[in-house]
Chain A
Amino acid sequence: MRSVTEQHPVELIMARGLISNLTTAAFLVDAAGVLIFFNEPAGELLGVKYEEAGPMEPEEWGGRFSPTRLDGQPLALGELPLAIALEGRAAHAPMRIQSASGEPCDIEVTAFPLAGREGQTGALAIFWDRSS
Chain B
Amino acid sequence: MQVRVCGARGSLPSPGADKVRYGGNTSCVQVRLSDGSHVVLDAGTGIRNVDLGVEASRDHLHLLLTHLHLDHIQGLLFFTPLFQPEAEVTVWGPAEGRVPLQDRISRYLSAPLTPVEVRELPCNLDFRNCPVSEWRIGSALLRAEAVTHRGPTLGFRIEDAGATLCYLPDHEPALVGAIDGLEHEWLSGYRLARAADVLIHDAQYRDDEYPAHFGWGHSAVSHALDFASRCEAKRTVFFHHDPFHTDSDLDAILDDARERWAERGRDPATLDLAREEAVIAVGAVRQV
Binding site for B on A (CB under 8 A): 1-3, 5-11, 13-14, 16-17, 20, 116-119
Contact = CB atoms under 8 A, between A and B. Distances in A.
A9 B176 CA distance: 13
Nearest to B154: A117
B190 A10 contact: no
Contact of B176 (A1, A2, A13, A117): A13
B143 A1 contact: yes
Interface string B128-151: 010010100000010101111000
B187 interface: yes
B235 interface: no
B16 interface: no
A17 B176 contact: yes
Contact of A118 (B132, B134, B177, B187): B132
Contacts of B188: 7, 10, 13
Interface of B: 94-95, 129, 132, 134, 141, 143, 145-148, 152, 157, 159, 175-177, 184-188, 190-191, 194
B184 A14 contact: no
B176 A14 contact: yes
Given A3-B190, A8-B185, A14-B176, 10 more contacts: A1-B159, A5-B184, A7-B186, A7-B191, A9-B146, A13-B176, A13-B187, A16-B186, A20-B177, A117-B94
B176 A3 contact: no
15 contacts: A1-B159, A3-B194, A5-B184, A5-B191, A6-B191, A7-B184, A7-B187, A7-B188, A7-B191, A8-B185, A14-B148, A17-B175, A117-B129, A118-B132, A119-B132
Contacts of B159: 1
Contacts of A2: 191
Nearest to B131: A117
Nearest to B155: A10
B272 to A, nearest CB: 25
A1 B143 CA distance: 9
Given A1-B141, A5-B194, A117 B152 contact: yes
Given A1-B141, A116-B146, A7 B185 contact: yes
Contacts of A9: 145-146
B146 A10 contact: yes
Nearest to B176: A17
A13 B129 CA distance: 22
A17 B175 CA distance: 8
A1 B190 CA distance: 13
Contact of B95 (A7, A16, A117): A117
A17 B172 CA distance: 12
A10 to B, nearest CB: 4
B146 A117 contact: yes
Nearest to B159: A1
A54 to B, nearest CB: 11
Given A5-B185, A20-B176, A118-B132, A13 B191 contact: no
B132 A117 contact: yes
A11 B190 contact: no
A117 B93 CA distance: 12
B107 to A, nearest CB: 20
A10 B95 contact: no
Nearest to B194: A3
